[in-house]
Amino acid sequence: MAQKEEDTAAAAPASQNGEDLENLDDPEKLKELIELPPFEIVTGERLPVNYFKFQFRNVEYSSGRNKTFLCYVVEVQSKGGQVQASRGYLEDEHAGAHAEEAFFNTILPAFDPAPRHNVTWYVSSSPCAACADRIIKTLNKTKNLRLLILVGRLFMWEEPEIQAALRKLKEAGCKLRIMKPQDFEYIWQNFVEQEEGESKAFEPWEDIQENFLYYEEKLADILK
């Protein structure tokens, strides 16, 4: 599969994925200190604060962010009309499978295939072409699946192959949009680890709204 981000961190790391790092408000410093663990798919209910602050930041140039974080909500509607919701997150290491494919391989099969499934993904970056193809194939053969994908950044959006893949996602019925500041706040509240007995308020970074508008315009141009 294609690598998920263009560049990788080059400097000697100090800890994994930003754990126990200083200068969290300096993304370039974080990039220099990030160390990737062995290639694997990681799952859980809540991701560490430092992972969120670095990996989900909607920067224009995503140097050092060479894996995907995917937070998901699965709502299953029973015959009686009751809705049961489950949530969690996945992170990938771009060697065996991307987080999008891992969701279909490991998370979705755990649910009863009969009822209608409304699935929402909050993803650090948009799918690569191979993942988009897997999403389309799954949607085509799973008629009771509805998928909304919210992304922090657009992955290699200038590439014609990526643009075509995003348009095909739309044609297949997948809803795709850029995360607003309120969506990042939702991730913070529902998917990020909090200190025991303490819930800190989400603190938007300085250019969060500006970068949202930048990516929203790019996506609109691609999908029109």
Phi and psi of 35, rounded to 5°? -130, 130
Cα 179 to Cα 151: distance, rounded to the nearest angstrom:
5
Which stretches of the chain are DSSP H helices? 27-33, 49-55, 99-102, 129-141, 160-171, 181-191, 208-223
pLDDT digits (tens, 9 = 90+) for 162-188: 999 999 999 999 999 999 999 999 999
- Mean pLDDT of all residues in 36-64: 71
**164 C-beta neighbours (distance < 10 Å), count:** 13
Structure confidence at residue 204 (pLDDT): 92
- Mean pLDDT of all residues in 210-222: 95
pLDDT at 12 > cutoff 70: no
Question: pLDDT band at residue 96, thresholds of 50, 70 and 90?
Answer: low
| % of residues, the chain, pLDDT over 70 | 75
Structure confidence at residue 32 (pLDDT): 41
- What are the residues whose beta carbons fall under 8 Å from the beta carbon of 96, sequence distance 6 or more? 39, 40, 41
Active site residue 100: yes
pLDDT digits (tens, 9 = 90+) for 27-38: 554 444 344 443
In a 13 Å sphere around the CA of 178, the CA atoms on its Cβ side amount to: 26
pLDDT digits (tens, 9 = 90+) for 138-164: 999 988 899 999 999 998 888 999 999
pLDDT digits (tens, 9 = 90+) for 102-150: 899 888 888 888 788 899 999 999 999 999 999 999 999 988 899 999 9
Kindly name the residue from 5, 91, 100, 101 that is annotated as catalytic: 100
Question: pLDDT band at residue 82, thresholds of 50, 70 and 90?
Answer: confident
pLDDT at 41 > cutoff 60: no
More confident residue, 36 or 56: 56
- Mean pLDDT of all residues in 7-19: 35
Structure confidence at residue 93 (pLDDT): 62
pLDDT at 50 > cutoff 70: yes
Q: Which tokens hold the place of 72?
A: 């998901």
pTM of the model: 0.77
